[in-house]
Structure 1
């Protein structure tokens, strides 16, 4: 959205854009090659270390392809990241650097980068095998929320990471149903993995379909939103090649928000939007934090509570309906408590707990602080979400901005809610950074603060699913704690105002 005479974001020269496109494509091809050489294949050895991967046959080639490919893909995406700030007085985007040349160019390039990864073995994680075994468990009449995949007798249990073999499924009934469908149609493990990847790609395609109308609704250049949200390296590696169910959650989430944006305040549309958001929740529960902010779209004053009631009705209907349809009830809620079994410094609350334990060890104590810091973080998350919603509602009530501005403010707050959820959760995996990515691409004026963590997270995993955080526990925990203290000090000095406004 621009006012007459205001400058538009600059468009990069054809040489710059072409170089970025094909550098990223070479990177994606190298990542696919790394997958074939040493990806998360069913028979790959578990519990590998970077040193053991290097010593394995083809290990140097695997790691070289992976690191060079990741660097090329990240660098190409970063080079066309359109950094900008929103000028409320001018009503226009003032761009610091050129982004993708056009929306079509961004979509075509993201598709080119995804193609080698679509044809590669699973990359960066073994979670797809957990999905397969959970689907197998349900398809064979066993409750995956009550019986872990090892006890259920899944024939592919040896492909599942050991930490998840004896834990209940932490995903909602809709995704368990989709995984069971993949098992039934796919037959063997290979067919199941292929279909799970098809399901993930379908979720991404749904998200890609929703991005342009949402960008127009918020007044953000569509080419910018598409590039940031779809060409990000984590999307290709973890949502396409890794077939993570986060792709399905994001597709349903954006679809629900689009319905709410297109027909604000209308009961039928709000019911449908709530149902779509409810389906997203029954894939991955973290989507629930967006629902209160969806009620702010097009609402003002007391109408927000009426909108919230219609949205809530649709969400409850979707959750109850899927739970009844699958016959699984609400056992998946209990499974969420086991998702924190993994302890890594990439989660700020966990990192702080590690540092407290290290400090205690220096004086001969064993504080066992990680569970405490995680609980404190969850309490802080609840407080932060309520404060963010209240502040956003008050701003919208007092605002005389255009419909586009109001929509952008509400969706930006929803993106910040997902950021808070990622930062304060007990565990963090690289693909979690994709949760707020699309909403921030649609609303945030400055891009570095959320694009940089996405770029860094792309280097945290190796092709076979080995997480580098496991081997940098102490220095990583200290570094994360120092970074957290720096950010808190900065927020205290400058106030949260800049964080809450696009």
Structure 2
């Protein structure tokens, strides 16, 4: 997106845009909100503001409040339209039961979408402040905390996966194998609240997460509300780890610590999906970020252990380990081959030892490996190979009656082959061990996983953001991230059902995501304030 050469006119509630090529500051005609106190000490320059080391202490109170209102509305609407319980002890038997059905549920969905929209708006406004150097880490951290609290207290948003987590924790407590059976194998409120598609699906998660789920269910029992809240509390450690690690990663690789927090943690994908869901990816990305930082700090064994623990939550984190080997090897002495051999050999030993320890402590088998294919039952075009298979099948249907599985399986196989090629190529190109280069290429592989795996869910993109957020990002890259985040956040309905086949819904999302991305660098892109001024002439 190009930046306007003339000073923009901001609308009510908009902050002035202060990012211009060359790092200069533009003054808008009517600045409405100022982050206070607004003293900024900047070191370094950059065309987008993302490579600065901002030490601003500004607190954008109205922007934070806007996000709080949005988060509260989303949590309130979720009482009728979110991943609510089959037998709801909160609304059942009250005059408000109507919000769960028919037009009442439609109204509740509207409240959720309004809340999410306000949250995205607040996030974009916060991004303007941060990129301009007016707001530093403290302001972003305050926003993160304020926005996360409401969604932590409400029903699950855009998913029912947390009920599957509880079911996967209940099975081993009942003496059953969670890697061989689905939640439907046990009776009670936990099983009846699991989405139908996962009722008989074994857990595709690692031993550490099964251990966490067992602990949560051991405390909450069959109390569903307590189980959801405790699961969020158990996973919130991942958010804290992200808040601690991302700014420090940014300092090492030339990024902006405040921008890293804004993109990687304050992002509505994290707030709504990882925290509001909740999803166990939150713990995985937190361990991944801290482990990567530890390897950069020459605490190699600790770093590998932490990333391994992330892989013991969800196996996707394991892809980062070969990249960290290059950083470790760079810290050693000797020939290139000797350094790589030592780092790779020791790293592999640490990985297997740490993972085996998780297996023993959790007292589970290796059944999670064949269970990894469980998500393949979901067919959505947001996975590019699956989308290509759907398109090819649709075209072929004009001429004969083809098999769905033939086209889907072929496209997905090609997608995995492409992902393997991308991963190997990026890994080899990171062999210099230079931290920013390794982080960038690992993030590219994470992004490739998000779109090329057999199934793609919105929160999968947070894995790439957990690394990419620390890098110095151009204005173009920042706008792309805003567009992708705003688009993905509502690609599902609030109750977790897929909305990707509702093409009117998708078209509206595209337009709103474009508006959000454009607003990052061009406040008031629809020129509402200019029209308002014209009406008064």
Tell me whether the two structures share a fold, i.e. TM-score over 0.5. Answer: yes
Does residue 1:434 correspond to 2:468, yes or no? no
CA deviation after TM superposition for structure 1 residue 14, in Å = 10
Find 2:367's aligned residue among 331, 337, 341.
331
User: Any conservation in 1 of the 2:99–2:107 contact (CA below 8 Å)?
Assistant: no
Find 2:322's aligned residue among 280, 287, 292.
292
Could you say which structure has the larger radius of gyration?
Answer: 2
User: Any conservation in 2 of the 1:100–1:223 contact (CA below 8 Å)?
Assistant: no
Find 1:454's aligned residue among 485, 505, 522.
485
CA deviation after TM superposition for structure 1 residue 276, in Å = 1.3
Equivalent residues in 2 for 1:402-441 (5 A)?
Answer: 406-441=434-469
Give the equivalent residue in structure 1 for 2:310.
280
CA deviation after TM superposition for structure 1 residue 169, in Å = 0.6
- Secondary structure of 2:150's counterpart equals helix
CA deviation after TM superposition for structure 1 residue 362, in Å = 0.8
Mapped partners of 2:453, 2:494: distance in 1: 25
CA deviation after TM superposition for structure 1 residue 159, in Å = 0.4
Which segments of 5 or more consecutive residues in structure 1 lack a partner in the other structure? 46-51, 84-94, 264-268, 398-405, 480-502
Give the equivalent residue in structure 2 for 1:385.
423
Does residue 1:342 correspond to 2:378, yes or no? yes
Mapped partners of 1:359, 1:274: distance in 2: 47
Does residue 1:207 correspond to 2:237, yes or no? no
User: Any conservation in 2 of the 1:412–1:444 contact (CA below 8 Å)?
Assistant: no
Mapped partners of 2:44, 2:58: distance in 1: 26
User: Any conservation in 1 of the 2:396–2:402 contact (CA below 8 Å)?
Assistant: yes
User: Any conservation in 2 of the 1:197–1:243 contact (CA below 8 Å)?
Assistant: yes
CA spacing shift, 1:342–1:473, aligned 2, 3 Å: farther
Give the equivalent residue in structure 2 for 1:270.
300
- Secondary structure of 1:170's counterpart equals coil
Find 1:354's aligned residue among 390, 393, 398.
390
Which segments of 5 or more consecutive residues in structure 2 lack a partner in the other structure? 1-22, 24-41, 89-97, 331-335, 511-537
User: Any conservation in 1 of the 2:56–2:136 contact (CA below 8 Å)?
Assistant: no
Give the equivalent residue in structure 2 for 1:24.
67
Mapped partners of 1:102, 1:14: distance in 2: 6
CA deviation after TM superposition for structure 1 residue 298, in Å = 5.0
CA deviation after TM superposition for structure 1 residue 12, in Å = 12
CA spacing shift, 1:312–1:449, aligned 2, 3 Å: farther
User: Any conservation in 2 of the 1:272–1:314 contact (CA below 8 Å)?
Assistant: no
CA spacing shift, 1:191–1:160, aligned 2, 3 Å: same
- Secondary structure of 2:426's counterpart equals helix
User: Any conservation in 2 of the 1:38–1:44 contact (CA below 8 Å)?
Assistant: no
Mapped partners of 2:437, 2:294: distance in 1: 17
Give the equivalent residue in structure 1 for 2:86.
43
Give the equivalent residue in structure 2 for 1:486.
none
User: Any conservation in 2 of the 1:142–1:152 contact (CA below 8 Å)?
Assistant: no
For 1:178-226, what per-residue CA distance to the aligned partner results, in whole angstroms no more than 9, with x for missing partners? 0010000112222222111101212211221222222221122211111
CA deviation after TM superposition for structure 1 residue 291, in Å = 0.8
- Secondary structure of 1:7's counterpart equals coil
Give the equivalent residue in structure 2 for 1:499.
none
- Secondary structure of 1:362's counterpart equals coil
- Secondary structure of 1:147's counterpart equals coil
CA spacing shift, 1:107–1:16, aligned 2, 3 Å: closer
Give the equivalent residue in structure 2 for 1:218.
253
Give the equivalent residue in structure 1 for 2:9.
none
Give the equivalent residue in structure 2 for 1:178.
212
User: Any conservation in 1 of the 2:152–2:229 contact (CA below 8 Å)?
Assistant: no
Mapped partners of 2:403, 2:505: distance in 1: 16
User: Any conservation in 2 of the 1:54–1:63 contact (CA below 8 Å)?
Assistant: no
Give the equivalent residue in structure 2 for 1:117.
151
Mapped partners of 1:168, 1:343: distance in 2: 18
Give the equivalent residue in structure 2 for 1:72.
118
Does residue 1:168 correspond to 2:168, yes or no? no
CA spacing shift, 1:191–1:15, aligned 2, 3 Å: closer
For 1:253-308, what per-residue CA distance to the aligned partner results, in whole angstroms no more than 9, with x for missing partners? 11211210111xxxxx3222222111111110111111111112253333233222
Mapped partners of 1:154, 1:145: distance in 2: 20
User: Any conservation in 2 of the 1:131–1:179 contact (CA below 8 Å)?
Assistant: yes
Does residue 1:194 correspond to 2:229, yes or no? yes
User: Any conservation in 2 of the 1:66–1:462 contact (CA below 8 Å)?
Assistant: no
User: Any conservation in 2 of the 1:273–1:314 contact (CA below 8 Å)?
Assistant: no
CA deviation after TM superposition for structure 1 residue 310, in Å = 2.1
User: Any conservation in 2 of the 1:415–1:439 contact (CA below 8 Å)?
Assistant: yes
For 1:130-161, what per-residue CA distance to the aligned partner results, in whole angstroms no more than 9, with x for missing partners? 00011000111111001221124454211001
